[in-house]
A and B are shown apart, each in its own frame.
Chain A
Amino acid sequence: MDDTKLLEIKGLTKQFPGVKALDNVDFTVKAGEVHALMGENGAGKSTLIKILTGIYEKDAGTMIFDGKKVNFQNAKQAQDAGISTIYQELNLIPQLSVAENLYLGRQPLTGGRVDWKKINSQAETFLNDLGICIDVKRKLNTFSTAIQQMVAIARGISLQAKLMIMDEPTSSLGDKEVEILFELIRKIKHKGVATVFVSHRLDEIFEICDTATILRDGKLVETVPVESLTKYDLITKMIGKDAGTVINRKNDRKNVGNKILLEVKDVSRGVKVRGIDLTIHEGEIVGLAGLLGSGRTEFVRALFAADKMESGIVSMEGKQILIRSPRMAVKKGIGFVSEDRKAEGIIPNLSVKENMTLTILPKVSRFSWINKRLEKEKVDLFFEKLRVKTSGYEQSIRNLSGGNQQKVILARWMATAPKLLIMDEPTRGIDVGAKAEIEQLIQEMAQAGISILLISSELEELIRNCDRIAVIRDGRKITELSGNNMTENEIFRVLSSAEENENTQKEVLG
């Protein structure tokens, strides 16, 4: 890393109606560094990024990029100047091949025709050079999200980008994929390309970033080398109050019932779920640990009948039941918070109120006529319980922050008075403050006797919250951990030993 300033922003200010999104912010990125941009939702991170990439226009301040004073009017100008953005939703074309995506819009021509051989071989060399060894002729959508992201990054590099902006690139990646992505980030770093990295996962910041700039309420808190920070400091700086209020919370519930609420046996669906047994007690929080693609999501979806369960026996409160659709599951007292809040959780253009009461409309209506007063009472009740922050019940839910959206969805389910609530990654993409609140709510619900089935990619989160953790691998439950056995090391040990077993098995089977 050299010390030349690649990007120097001074006094950046951006005013939106009613809110100052950025207030006199300085931000400097050196060539070849990985720079974390930290802050809670609404701190101004995305506004800063959008100004940097020409989507918003700044109200005041100066921007010097690569030695030149710049003021991007649109995304193309920013890209031409050498700023490349990798969003979670990729702006590549999934139906085209990797090579085509890489050279989209500037295919090498031979005598007026596109030279496929040349494109493919160029693409292959280029990607190999970055340590990505894949078949460039395959369609992009046949690869995992991680690979697709890497192709996007590679495209940025090939466009001579000097600064890569990665807005939550890891939010939909598994641990292994994150490692591969980080490897790539280190590679491009050696090429002198700087990265601005946004992530809610703090561990990642400490692993990959050199410097961190922390924003709060649109103001710059500090820019510091990551080495000089502890996780505790970082959270304290981000939320502006002592981090002790957020982390280190002990799971101190003591009333886990002995009554079995749900017992499932031999649940199977395709190759992803291959015979899982699980028992959940009343008021118990059971965690599902496993890598992405281990079948944990597929298992809970089959349990909720979001996808068809191919075989398996489900008993609830001692009686065997058959759940054929989500509607039946809801009637039986099961709720489901999907991992994909945007696609499967919120009804984006309906109001906050309408989103919350969707599951309980029959309860607040007579002969299909909605009793608005009763509906509002319910909303009042649960929004207060869940501390939902909204400027009005009639506002579209998509205008809320991720954390508040998630709380509305939790309210949607709590209102049904469920016996079991299945939560798939309930804190993904949510800032630290809201995340702590949601974990708190999970504890409160369990305290109130609701059983919880919790999936999370963050083992710490599972360990913090769960009474028992079932470890899933390749569609099977390997083991269950509880009490003092619930540690990250133990989970990793179980996961890897199972891997060895499987490998030896494969060898034996030939």
Chain B
Amino acid sequence: MKKKITVWQFVSQYGALCFLIALLAGNAVFTKNFISINIVWNLITQGFVTIVVSLGMMLVISSGGIDLSVGSVMPVAAMITAKNLDMGILPAIIMGLIAAILIGCFNGMIVAVFKIQPFIVTLAMYMAARGIAQLTNNSMVYNFTNETFNSLSRFRIAGKVPVQILIIPIFLIICFIIVKKSTIGRYIQAVGDNREASRLSGVNIVSTIIFTYGMCSALAGAAGIFEIARVGASDPNTLGLHVELDAIAAVVLGGTPMSGGKINLSGTVFAAIVMQLIVVTANMNNISAQIAYIVKAVVILVAVVIQRRESLKR
């Protein structure tokens, strides 16, 4: 009896990791040519956007909110960066990121100061930011050639290992510091878990929430910039489309409660990889993308049911 409980608790805490291992094992047995180092590299390059955006979404969800606008912030940051590459890569990237951060802070301000539901605020921004991105180039794909910029995402260490293997840890470390080491991370989780108690303890709710949305947008913007560096062109119509769904799914599967509160950082990362791995698995087995969608849905539901089971018991 006692052992059974701990197994369930383990699954709910490390559900995403369990799924990941199960998927890898299943693939190793059933998918031809799966066990190769290339699969790891592909997973990392293709999963990059989901991982980075999920980290930001994790912060927002932990604070008790949600950010539907991340997929539209990506092309805004990307378009601004792409169009200003002539000014130099670093200034262009900084401009793109500032645009993203401003959008995020605006979201956060409306949510915190006017106390409007995050769902509504970021839904509006989801539409508005997409529009802004399209306006920058009349809804047309913007092509650019800049080898150095492209190498941010295309460079392969020793001709094999994708550069993302170095970039992802940078984002992870930033988020790890925020979540585990900094006061703001503590405040985010406290506000998400019990906003009124936090307020009465003297926590600055407004600045906490503005920071959270600003950080989420910054991460989304960065994901957008790295993505166009990989593709070599910026498409304001499709870049980042539906990414918010994968990100929300990754956070939930990762074990951070939808209602806000305690963050599960490693869970989010593993879950984001699971999301990508499902797609890769489908591709390699000639299973249609539609089936992959359904599988993702099932995985998310099962994860949430397990979470729920645990929290009900308390």
B181 lies within 8 A of chain A by Cβ: yes
Per the bound structure, the CA–CA distance linking A304 and B199 in Å amounts to 11
**Given A350-B262, A370-B186, is A17 in contact with B201 using a C-beta cutoff of 8 Å?**
no
Q: Please state if B194 and A330 are interface contacts (CB–CB under 8 Å).
A: no
Would you call the interface of chain B mostly helix, strand, loop, or mixed?
helix
Residues of B within 8 A of A306 (CB): 199-200
A344–B201 Cα gap in the complex (Å)?
9
Interface residues on B, range: 20 to 34
Given A349-B262, A350-B189, does the pair A326, B314 have CB atoms closer than 8 Å? no
Interface 1/0s, chain A 330-365, versus B by CB < 8 A? 110000101000011111111000100011011001
- Among B182, B189, B201, B262, the one with the most A-chain Cβ atoms within 10 Å of its Cβ is B201
Q: A447 CA to B233 CA in the complex, in Å?
A: 71
Contact yes or no, A17 B5, CB < 8 A? yes
> B1, B183, B200: which contacts A344 (Cβ < 8 A)?
B200
A298 to chain B, nearest CB (A): 15
Contact of B202 among A17, A330, A370 (CB under 8 A): A330
**Are B257 and A358 interface neighbours, CB within 8 A?**
no
Question: Which residues of chain B come closer than 8 Å to A346, judged between CB atoms?
Answer: 194, 197
Interface code B178-193, partner A: CB below 8 Å = 1, 0 otherwise?
A: 0001111011011001
Give min CB distance, B177 to chain A, whole Å.
Answer: 8
A347 touches B200 (CB 8 A): no
What is the minimal beta-carbon distance from B175 to any residue of chain A, in angstroms? 14
How far is A327 from B200 in the complex, measured between Cα atoms in Å? 7
A359 contacts which of B1, B5, B201 (Cβ < 8 Å)? B201
**With A and B bound together, what is the CA distance between A361 and B189 in angstroms?**
14
Contact B183 A362 (CB under 8 A): yes
Cβ distance A55 to chain B, nearest Cβ, rounded Å: 11
On whether the beta carbons of A369 and B200 are closer than 8 Å, the reply is no
Does A22 sit within 8 A of B, measured CB to CB?
Answer: no
Cα A350 to Cα B185 in complex, Å, equals 12
On whether the beta carbons of A17 and B2 are closer than 8 Å, the reply is yes
A354 CA / B186 CA spacing, docked (Å): 8
Q: How far is the CB of B264 from chain A (nearest CB, A)?
A: 11
Report chain A residues within 8 Å CB of B139: none
Partner of B181, one of A17, A362, A370: A370
Q: Tell me if A398 is interfacial: C-beta within 8 Å of chain B.
A: yes
Distance, CA A330 to CA B198, complexed state (A): 12
Q: Give Cα distance in the complex from A348 to B195, angstroms.
A: 11
Number of A-B residue pairs, CB cutoff 8 Å, is: 79
B194 touches A361 (CB 8 A): no
**Which residues does chain B contribute within 8 Å of A136, judged by CB atoms?**
none
Q: Say yes or no: A350 contacts B190, CB within 8 Å.
A: yes
- Measured CA separation A338–B184 after assembly (Å): 24
Contacts of B261 in A (CB 8 A): 348-350
The answer to whether B183 touches A347 (Cβ under 8 A) is no
Interface string of B151-191 (1 = CB under 8 A from A): 00000000000000000000000000100011110110110
Query: How far is it, in angstroms, between the C-alpha of A343 and the C-alpha of B200 when the chains are bound?
Result: 11
Q: Is B23 interfacial (CB 8 A cutoff)?
A: no
Of the candidates B177, B193, B314, which one forms a contact with A347 in the assembled complex, judged by CB atoms under 8 Å apart? Answer: B193
Closest Cβ neighbor of A336 among chain B residues: B200
Judge whether B204 is part of the interface by a CB distance below 8 angstroms: yes
Contact A327 B194, beta carbon cutoff 8 Å: no
Chain A residues with CB under 8 Å of B190's CB are 347, 350, 354, 358
CB-nearest residue of chain A relative to B200? A326
* A375 nearest CB neighbor, chain B only: B186
The number of chain A residues touching the other chain, given as a range, is 20 to 34
B203: CB under 8 A from chain A?
yes
For residue B196, CB closer than 8 A to chain A, the reply is yes
Given contacts A354-B186, A369-B181, contact A326 B202 (CB under 8 A): yes
Interface residue from B5, B183, B197, B201 paired with A365 (Cβ < 8 Å):
B183
Contacts of A17 in B (CB 8 A): 1-2, 5
B312 to chain A, nearest CB (A): 11
CB–CB B200/A370 < 8 A: no
A338 close to B183 (CB less than 8 A) = no
What is the CA–CA distance of A304 and B202 in the complex, to the nearest angstrom?
10
**Could you tell me the distance in whole angstroms from the C-beta of A410 to the nearest C-beta in chain B?**
13
Most chain B CB atoms below 10 A, which of A17, A306, A326: A326
Shortest CB distance B180–A (Å): 9
With a CB–CB cut-off of 8 A, which chain B residues contact A343?
194, 196-197
Please, which residues of chain B bring their CB within 8 A of the CB of A354?
186, 189-190
> How far, in Å, is A83 (CB) from chain B's closest CB?
22
Q: Which of A298-340 contact B (CB under 8 A)?
A: 304, 306, 326-327, 329-331, 336, 338
A412 to B198, CA, bound (A): 12
A329 with B257: CB separation less than 8 A = no
Contacts A349-B262, A350-B262: A330 and B201 contacting too (C-beta < 8 A)?
A: yes
In the complex, which residues of chain B have a beta carbon less than 8 angstroms from the beta carbon of A338?
Answer: 197, 200
Looking at B183, B196, B204, which has the most chain A CB atoms within 10 Å of its CB?
B183
Please, how many angstroms separate the alpha-carbon atoms of A359 and B202 in the complex?
7
Would you call B186 and A327 a contact (CB within 8 A)?
no
Given A350-B189, A361-B183, A398-B314, A326–B262 Cβ distance below 8 Å? no
Given contacts A347-B189, A350-B262, A398-B314, 11 further A-B contacts (CB under 8 A): A306-B199, A330-B202, A343-B194, A344-B196, A345-B200, A349-B257, A349-B261, A350-B261, A354-B186, A354-B189, A369-B177
Can you list 25 residue pairs at the A/B interface with Cβ under 8 Å? A17-B2, A17-B5, A306-B199, A326-B202, A336-B200, A343-B194, A343-B196, A343-B197, A344-B194, A344-B200, A345-B197, A347-B193, A347-B194, A349-B193, A349-B262, A350-B193, A350-B262, A354-B189, A361-B183, A361-B186, A365-B183, A368-B184, A369-B181, A370-B183, A370-B186
Residues of B whose CB lies within 8 Å of any CB of A are: 1-2, 5, 177, 181-184, 186-187, 189-190, 193-194, 196-204, 257, 261-262, 314
For the complex of A and B, 9 pairs with smallest distance between CB atoms: A330-B202, A361-B183, A349-B261, A327-B202, A17-B2, A347-B194, A349-B262, A347-B193, A358-B201
